[in-house]
Chain A
């Protein structure tokens, strides 16, 4: 699973935004073609942290830099391959975005 943190440039121009989106599109297309893409979702900013029965606080990660913008679930042979996919394709490094790479646990049933 690739979890995307930050990387949104709020004041980008329409042209820059579209160029950025086209990069994402190209990446998603490539992942589909390679049969790697499983799923993905964008997350809206804001959210609550529920820590017990009666409290729900803002968070976690409400700072722009840490904010999770979305995630992809991909097929990769191992974590190194997943890292290299992120390193070579993630379009938002230039905007300070980062990618958290996590293996999803598989259960042999």
Chain B
């Protein structure tokens, strides 16, 4: 017997399970999401048994697809005489054997799967579901993560995640949310909600407070995948979606350069830019170009993507187009006057204008007293002004406010640096 080939694609089960849950939910109706999950779980368990002993099939995705489809057919046939759960849209199937199998076969075709996933994105990000629940549900249904994995990724308890998912399912039940594409007039607002959730999902992965780099990369990758899915569909391939995807690409390209071998954070200024992943930067430019459409639109995603592109195109920190970045932050602040954007604008200004001007701007921001990066930024400006004593004070404040080991290490080093010059 020749040795079986044993190489699975990373995340194969996770990604396939997202696809299959979507397609099964379309067939059975979103109200029967649980059943869809059960069928997929069964399929994966069967795959494990079969593949372990007989090696991987030539096309593992097609294998899973076929087995899940057969299980769905069995489920429906078995339940035919009882009141089986099925989406109203497909209930006619049970009445005619003649169209039963071909229609189900059709549903499991690649473009139909994509369509189901798209509908699932809209269902998960339904405006009547609280945002945190939207994200948890999306990760569970579309990305194949378990509650405990989502909990780990968000640094909250599994119980919290279960509650969020429960709330989402309750809304699906009460509001009778089904898997459908929003009507034309609803689409822009519904899409806005989807983008907001994807943006938050990505940020959760990108923010440096999480101890496990791999989990963070997974979350970012999932956000990218879902945004990409939106660009595949004519109705949702809007300029904002492309701008958001461009932003994700630029940001993701830097993930590999953000930590050193011991897992400590490397700031933008000190990152080895040759480690930035060029193919993703190129993709970023591609979507950025595609996002500039007639009529011209500037959304927050356009502006953030543009800022990220200026960072990506800079040969080194000093040669960064800070003027351009400052200008873009000003635009961004006009649309969305949040304290975080004000902070970033002030930081950019410290490289374009005067450090004292930047300090003045930073001090005017009121709502960020509990945000460690706010104090770090002020410390940073003092440090560059050579006022090590003041810098140290702010770094120490920041140190109190972060729970991330990596951030703490970084701040400790900065404080250490200040102390050395002070002595």
Residues of A within 8 A of B (CB): 8, 10-18, 20-22, 24-26, 28-29, 32-33, 37, 39-42, 44, 69-70
How far is it, in angstroms, between the C-alpha of A20 and the C-alpha of B144 when the chains are bound? Answer: 16
Contacts of B48 in A (CB 8 A): 8, 17, 20-21, 24
How far is it, in angstroms, between the C-alpha of A41 and the C-alpha of B148 when the chains are bound? Answer: 32
Q: Is B383 among interface residues, defined by CB-CB distance under 8 A?
A: no
Contacts of A69 in B (CB 8 A): 49
Shortest Cβ gap from A67 to chain B (Å) = 12
Residues of B within 8 A of A (CB): 1, 3-4, 6, 8, 11-14, 16-17, 41, 44-45, 47-54, 144-146, 148-149
Contacts of B3 in A (CB 8 A): 28-29, 32-33, 37
- Check B146–A16 contact: CB distance below 8 A: yes
- Check A13–B144 contact: CB distance below 8 A: yes
Shortest Cβ gap from B219 to chain A (Å) = 13
In the A-B complex, the 8 residue pairs with the closest CB atoms: A13-B146, A25-B6, A14-B13, A32-B3, A18-B13, A42-B49, A14-B144, A24-B52
- Check B41–A10 contact: CB distance below 8 A: yes
Contacts of A41 in B (CB 8 A): 53
Shortest Cβ gap from A37 to chain B (Å) = 7
- Check B51–A21 contact: CB distance below 8 A: yes
How far is it, in angstroms, between the C-alpha of A65 and the C-alpha of B12 when the chains are bound? Answer: 28
- Check B41–A15 contact: CB distance below 8 A: no
- Check A26–B6 contact: CB distance below 8 A: yes
Shortest Cβ gap from A10 to chain B (Å) = 7
List, sorted by A's number, 13 A–B pairs whose CB atoms are closer than 8 Å: A13-B146, A13-B149, A14-B14, A14-B144, A15-B13, A15-B14, A18-B11, A22-B6, A25-B51, A28-B4, A29-B6, A37-B1, A70-B52
Shortest Cβ gap from B152 to chain A (Å) = 11
- Check A10–B45 contact: CB distance below 8 A: yes
- Of the candidates A11, A18, A24, A26, the one whose C-beta lies within 8 Å of that of B41 is A11
Contacts of A26 in B (CB 8 A): 6
- Check A42–B44 contact: CB distance below 8 A: no
- Contacts A24-B52, A29-B3, A40-B53 given; 20 further ones with Cβ under 8 A? A8-B45, A12-B146, A13-B14, A13-B146, A13-B149, A15-B11, A15-B13, A15-B144, A15-B146, A16-B146, A17-B44, A18-B12, A21-B52, A22-B6, A25-B51, A29-B6, A42-B50, A42-B53, A42-B54, A44-B49
